[in-house]
Structures are given as C-alpha cells and as structure tokens.
Amino acid sequence: MEEISVKRVKHFKNQSCRENLQLLDKKLEAHTFQLKNIMRNSDKTHGKSGSNQSGKPFDFVRCPKRHILLKFYYLGWNYHGFVEQEDTTNTIEHHIFEALRKSCLVENRKSSNYHRCGRTDKGVSAFSQVISLNVRSKLIPSDQKGFHKELSYCKMLNRILPKDIKCIAWAPVGDNYSARFDCKSRSYKYFFPKGNLDIDGMNKAASYLVGHHDFRNICKMDVANGVVTFARTIQDARIICHDDENSERSGYNMCHLLIKSQAFLWHQIRCIMGILLLVGQGKEKPEIFLDLFDIEVCPRKPQYSLAHEVPLNLFHCDYDDVEWFYDDEELLLTIKTLQKDWTFNAVKAAMVRSMLEDLEDRVKSEESLSFQNEGLIQGVQSKIYQPLMERITCGMCTLNVPSSPHIRQSIPTHQKVVSYIVPLIPFDMYCLRHSDTLRAFGLC
C-alpha cells in the first residue's frame, strides 16, 4: 500500500513538472518571438531593410522628400488592431510600414515624422484611416504642387499590401501637418441587424449623447497612455436604418449607429453601443445615459459588457483645406477587390438566410424569433436581467502617479505628482492588467 502511494506521488510530481515545462516552453517561445520582432524593428530603424532590386542599399539622401497624408481602408477582422506591437506582426500598421519600406518610400519609421489619426483595436475596421509622414518624391521641393507628375503612391503601396488593406488616396500637406492633431472630427459607424429592437428608443437615447459630457462610466481606462480626463464632446449620434423591407422578416434589415466627435476614449463607442442595445431590447430606459453622466448619481461604473468589435468601423476623418488625389485606375482595382469580398460574403449571408426562413416557417410557436442581436453583446447573458443602476460597480482606483513621459503628455508641467481617481475597473484587475506600467512607475 505504501509503495502504491509513493508511485502516485512520483506520478503527480512528474505530471506537474511536465506541465510546468510545457508552460515554460510556451513562455520562452513567445519571448523569443518578441525579441526577434524587436531586433527586426531595430534593423529597420537603422535603415538596413531599404534596398532596391539589385540588392544595394537605396540612397535616400539623393531623393527629395515631401510631407503627405495617406488614406487607407482595411477590414480589421483578422488583425490584432492598427498599432504596431512588439509581440506580433499581425497588425495593420506593421503591413503599412512593410509596404512603405519595400517600395523605398521611407527609410525607417523613426525618421519619417509619422502620425496616425486613429488607434483602432483588434477586430475593428476602417474606411478612412489617415496617416501623415515624409515620403520620397520625384519632384524637387519648388515643383511639388501638382499631383499627376508625382509618384503613384497608392499604386506602389497596393502592389505590396494584403488584399484587405488598401491605400485609396493621398494629399500634399505642410511639413508640420499632423494626421492626428489636425483632424477636426472622427466619425464611426457601428453596423447591426434591426431584429426586434426599439429603434425609436435607441435614437432617443443616442440624442442624449450629443454635447459635452463626462464619459468615465462609458469607457475603459487608458492611464498607461496618459488619459486622466474623461470629458468628451459628441457632435452627432443617431441610428440610421437601411434596406427597409415591408415584410414579416424585417428583423434582418441592417442599421448602423453614426457617432461623430473630435476624439474618443478607449472602448467608448463599444460601451455606448452595448448600452444602446440594452435600450433597444427594452431592458433600459433611454435616459440611462443621463444617470451615467451624473457622477453624483453614479460615482462608479456599473459592470456591463462591451458590444462586439467586428461591426465597428472608423468611417470618416475630417480635415480642413486638404485636397485628396484619387487615382481612377487604382480605384477600379480596389472596387473590384471589394466587390469580390462582398460577393462571397453576400452569398454566404443569402445561404444562411434561406436556411433560417425555412426553419422559421416550421416553428409553430407564437414567440418572437428575432434573436439577431444577442451575439453582439459580449459575455454570458443572465436569464434574469439586472438594471445597470442596480449592478455591482467597479472599484475605486486611486493612483499617485509620478512624472513619466507617458503620463506627462496630458499633465501640467508644474505638477510633479498627480493624484486622480478612475472609477472604471476593480483595482486588483487593473494591477493585473498593467503590472508592467505600475512597476515602471514604482507603484508596485
């Protein structure tokens, strides 16, 4: 009996060691991948990747340069967001700079005076993502006024970019023009099926968003990037429905939320849409936004789920005095590519729709069969709904943040230490997510 117990203990120890080794192997593999990306980015920063077809380094010194805007569309469903990351190459920004370097339009990112308009998250798409940077030109500075004599920037990039990322226009701007800071407004669209939603109630709720409000209860904290104020001005917010069918199956008609502002907070639109869907389902009143704006009524953020990221699209970025150049030949190729994507997705949708219609005709129940929107709110949905204002709230997170290059971007220079309260997520959850940042600040 004692021998059996000893064997079991040894077996458990061996099993535990094996699991630990497997876990360690995965960590080392991820760390190695991250280091390779850092080394690759370092090589690109020092200009080792720019070369011509003969293999010789491209001589950027001999080429004139100009500052321009580039406008891209991308379907972000299969990417890990727009911004380049150290632990993955599956980002939009990575592919854009790969194309810029391979076409010898830029030597490296560091010297390109680069700015981006928006930071779309994983799974989010864009029809009008704009970047500004210095690129190679074939015109001398005194002759850089026209479009047609210049390099075909869109064509050069689109021959290298993946098929779901395309450059659709470019514009000449001044040397100090920034795609981020000179953007007057950003418009997003969030697409969703009508289902059995109360569109009038959702539109009424959306109307309360317009104006200047405190959105600390309708976003996620982004303290690592220096965001310490949560007041934003929404210029427009409304629900628009299209493909209106006068049929019993109008629940399959598509709608979208159009929301416009100069700047948005992290996950602000997905939080807004998550609440709007609750209003459309009749679970919340349209005035719920007024309660969430009032910090005295709602000092801490109630715990609720985000809307899914796939239907979100950065649809338009507005700039003053910018003349965009569109290459008709390149636009035709881009339209052809998008139509091909639309064809296969529309065929799949029609196929699923025909299956649904057949199944719905066989159901004899008088209950509503409109479940189209249930998958748009992330997380497990409780059978017994609890109103937002009665839910458990997120904990207070009070941080004394010393001066740092990340935080000081939005803090007055005379303040060396800032204390602020962010009632967004439990403190222990925040520490778990941002342990590296807190450790860098000497807070843990």
| Shared domain check, 327 and 214 | no
State mean pLDDT over 327-333. Answer: 94
DSSP letter for each residue of 160-228: TS-TTEEEEEEEE--TT--TTTT--EEEEEEEEE-TT--HHHHHHHHHTTSEEEE-TTSS---GGGT--
Residue 57 in this model has a pLDDT that exceeds 90: no
- Active-site pick, 25, 43, 87, 121: 121
pLDDT at residue number 176: 94
pLDDT at residue number 409: 42
Q: Cα 173 vs. chain centroid, distance in angstroms? A: 26
| Shared domain check, 210 and 310 | yes
Q: Which domain holds residue 197?
A: 186-317
pLDDT at residue number 283: 95
| Shared domain check, 178 and 54 | yes
**Mind listing the pLDDT tens digit for each residue in 68-102?**
999 999 999 999 999 999 889 999 999 999 999 99
| Shared domain check, 237 and 302 | yes
State mean pLDDT over 395-414. Answer: 43
| Shared domain check, 83 and 206 | no
Asked whether residue 278 is assigned to any structural domain, the reply reads yes
| Shared domain check, 220 and 166 | no
User: pLDDT confidence of 61, banded at 50, 70, 90?
Assistant: confident
Asked whether residue 26 is assigned to any structural domain, the reply reads no
Q: What is the CATH number of the domain that holds 257?
A: 3.30.70.660
| Final residue before a domain boundary, out of 317, 342, 367 | 317
| Shared domain check, 249 and 213 | yes
Active site residue 121: yes
pLDDT at residue number 137: 92
| Shared domain check, 193 and 178 | no
| Final residue before a domain boundary, out of 317, 343, 371 | 317
* Residue pair 306/124 in contact by the 8 Å Cβ criterion: no
**How far is it, in rounded angstroms, from Cα 347 to Cα 355?**
13
**Structural domain tally of the chain?**
3
Q: What is the CATH number of the domain that holds 69?
A: 3.30.70.580
| Shared domain check, 216 and 121 | no
Which of 101-115, 241-255, 372-386, 400-414 is the most confident on average?
A: 101-115
**How far is it, in rounded angstroms, from Cα 210 to Cα 237?**
6
| Shared domain check, 221 and 123 | no
